[in-house]
Amino acid sequence: MKNCDLGLETVSFLGSTVRQRVVNHLRKKFNTLEDAENEYGLSVDSYLGVTALPSSDDELENIEPDMIQKLNFLSVKQLITVVSKSLAKIPEDKIFELLTDRLKSCSYQLLSRFLNQVVEKLTPSYTEKILDEMFLKAAVNRGITNNPLSFASTSLNAMKLLQDSGKPNLISKWSRCIWGPEGKPKLDLKRMPFGLIEYQIEFFSCTNVMQVFFCFLN
């Protein structure tokens, strides 16, 4: 048993020595690992047996099945290389379709992480535009029809103005007054002071004379 262990240690030592000599030799000859891989046919493209990625559906149909099968043996890092090179050649609308189909099967945690990373790369104005669109879609899905357009960005601006003016966040608090515990309003929607608050909001949100006139009629 001891002789066996000694033999394994010797083989391991020799293997390590050979690898180090190879590394030292390649380091003198090549500037990068990619250069060495390409020279000896060890790159992803060489392994797959292609010199260029397919540029059309017809070319993809003509790819040898063996080449597709080789993808199963690539490491995650190598697959990422393949995907990165492929995305550079795929039209943006097709990339969107690919991502949409893939994200459908992702967990909420992964999907949320993906969206947060995307939002971090957007400008604040783009973020608010997307937020408005998503809020409108959510409102429509809930059956809301009384013009929630641009509510997300408008409410954010209102909250910021209140904060800069040293006022409490009445936007958020008013929402909690309407939607209280267990979905029940904290004040009666059919009795005062709701009517007075409603009148004041309707009046000061008017943008033309006719709206003011109808506000008084109501």
Segment 30-74, tens digit of pLDDT = 677 666 666 655 555 554 555 455 555 555 555 666 666 777 777
Q: Average pLDDT for residues 138-150, to the nearest whole number? A: 86
Over residues 116-128, the mean pLDDT reads 89
For the cut 50, the answer to whether the pLDDT of residue 10 exceeds it is no
Average pLDDT in the 102-127 region? Answer: 86
Higher pLDDT, 126 or 29: 126
Could you tell me which residues come within 8 angstroms of residue 90 by beta carbon, excluding any fewer than 6 positions away? 98
For residues 99 and 86, the answer to whether their CB atoms sit within 8 Å is: no
Handedness of CA 82, 83, 84, 87 (dihedral sign): positive
Per-residue burial over 91-113, b if 16 or more Cβ lie within 10 Å, else e, is: eeeeeeeeeeeeeeeeeeeeeee
Q: What is the pLDDT of residue 26?
A: 65
pLDDT level of residue 23 (50, 70, 90 thresholds): low
Looking at the whole model, is its pTM more than 0.85? no
pLDDT of amino acid 7: 44
If pLDDT is split at 50, 70 and 90, which confidence band does 173 have? very high
Confidence of residue 82 (pLDDT cuts 50, 70, 90): confident
pLDDT of residue 6: 43
Rg (CA), the chain: 32
Distance CA 90, CA 95 (A): 6
Read off the pLDDT of residues 176-185 as tens digits, 9 standing for 90 and up.
Answer: 999 888 888 8
**Beta-carbon count within 10 A of 26 CB:** 14
DSSP secondary structure string for all residues of 85-122: HHHTTS-HHHHHHHHHHHHTTS-HHHHHHHHHHHHHTS
B/e letters for 167-186, b = 16+ CB within 10 Å, e = fewer, are eeeeeeeeeeeeeeeeeeee
192-210: pLDDT as tens digits:
888 888 888 888 887 776 6
The CA–CA distances, whole Å, from 33 to 25, 28, 46, 82, 178 equal 12, 12, 14, 17, 63
- Better pLDDT: 25 or 102: 102
- Predicted confidence (pLDDT) at residue 171 exceeds the cutoff of 50: yes
Whole-number percent of the chain with pLDDT over 90: 17
